[in-house]
Structure 1
């Protein structure tokens, strides 16, 4: 049985190989360890193995772990669905939010971000596969929504995030990710801070990296399988 540290090395090697295949540098790609449902001790082990960025979906659970791990220099990413009445703890504790799916959420995060903290990095979640079960901005709405969010104080609009419809077909995977890459390219001329594509997980990171992903969200391949998803989220890692 492999150790957590060994699985981290395997994930890093997989990213490096995918980057090489895409004629990219592995240094351009951040491994975001999705630690939802996993105890703080496992995050400590992952940090000891060289990881600093961790993604969380469940608000109450993540707040507890952030408090338990305050002694470590970790960077926290909120990647789950966010209700407007629960934005304050995220604005106060996280460094990134990948799942901004409407203007109201961004406005509340901006208003509630403590003045003493740096601007909160945010990504717009795009419903690239137009699935009724998923939230997110539709591609045709993106230009307008991005323009509104870019004006908000206390936020930095960093890029786009998506979870395309699940597929085992690499061509289908790449097609969805290519759409995301095109959308970011279009917006960068208007919003120079947009340099991030948060896309690709344990099952499709190669296709995502081939299409320009800068953050891949890996959970299962590092921490092992999780209990079945509950109704609180439809995010996968």
Structure 2
């Protein structure tokens, strides 16, 4: 077993422990292995250990990886970075999930460019739950309205919500942000949407996110190691 595969197995153990501590059903948390900045060869290693869902931020880098890894069956690509208008076609044609919808215009482009032979693109509304000016996402009070508008598009399926919690917040504040997301998901459901996904929690705050209702956690450095953005 390689070091990456050992890291991956360790993360699975941590997720199982978080599920048990939160009295969640075993296997209820879906792991998205965040592979941004890491080579396709690293994805192959983690894929060989059993992982199928991978998250990417940078569209051009990710698109090259889809070419390199086209031989791997069952790979599920999650776009967890912003999608610029000139990159929507790539995402529409090759991604399975996009977690970062915060503008109706972006969603409309993705729907229009989604090939007819493909199933609807799974979409999450990104919520700026911390209110930080530098972060993307809609304000919490606008999330339901945007989700309802996106749900009317023919080639997207609103699955739920995504957030990036405040990095330096203490546990009480993180819990407040995650529980707000849980409440927003209930509001989506009350509005008639078949939404069941809360994409939240990363390497540092995953156990708390699971305790607060996360269904999908996005783990990168704990699997692949420290990133070099140079």
TM-score by length of 1: 0.93
Decide which moves more: 80-89 or 40-49: 80-89
Match of 1:67 in 2: 67
What is the distance in 2 between the residues matched to 1:159 and 1:108? Answer: 19
What is the distance in 1 between the residues matched to 2:192 and 2:5? Answer: 38
Q: Secondary structure at the match of 1:159?
A: strand
What is the distance in 1 between the residues matched to 2:135 and 2:228? Answer: 20
Match of 1:171 in 2: 172
Match of 2:94 in 1: 93
Q: Secondary structure at the match of 1:179?
A: helix
What is the distance in 2 between the residues matched to 1:26 and 1:60? Answer: 36
Match of 1:233 in 2: none
Q: Secondary structure at the match of 2:77?
A: strand
What is the distance in 1 between the residues matched to 2:101 and 2:121? Answer: 12
Match of 1:225 in 2: 226
- Structure 1: where are the runs of 5+ without partners? 231-237
* 1:126-205 map, 5 Å: 126-167=127-168, 169-205=170-206
Match of 1:124 in 2: 125
The alpha carbon displacement at 1:168 in A equals: 5.5
The alpha carbon displacement at 1:171 in A equals: 2.0
Contact preservation (8 Å) 1:159, 1:196 = yes
Q: Deviations over 1:28-79 (max 9, x none)?
A: 1101000001111110000111100000011111001011111112000000
Match of 2:85 in 1: 84
What is the distance in 1 between the residues matched to 2:181 and 2:156? Answer: 22
Match of 1:111 in 2: 112
Contact preservation (8 Å) 2:197, 2:214 = yes
Decide which moves more: 87-96 or 142-151: 142-151
What is the distance in 1 between the residues matched to 2:92 and 2:208? Answer: 32
What is the distance in 1 between the residues matched to 2:193 and 2:101? Answer: 19
Match of 2:211 in 1: 210
- Structure 2: where are the runs of 5+ without partners? none
Decide which moves more: 38-47 or 191-200: 191-200
Contact preservation (8 Å) 1:167, 1:173 = no
Question: What number of residue pairs does the alignment pair up?
Answer: 228
What is the distance in 2 between the residues matched to 1:177 and 1:99? Answer: 17
CA gap of 1:82–1:141, structure 2 versus 1, over 3 A, is: same
Q: CA RMSD in A?
A: 1.2
What is the distance in 2 between the residues matched to 1:173 and 1:7? Answer: 25
Q: Secondary structure at the match of 2:161?
A: strand
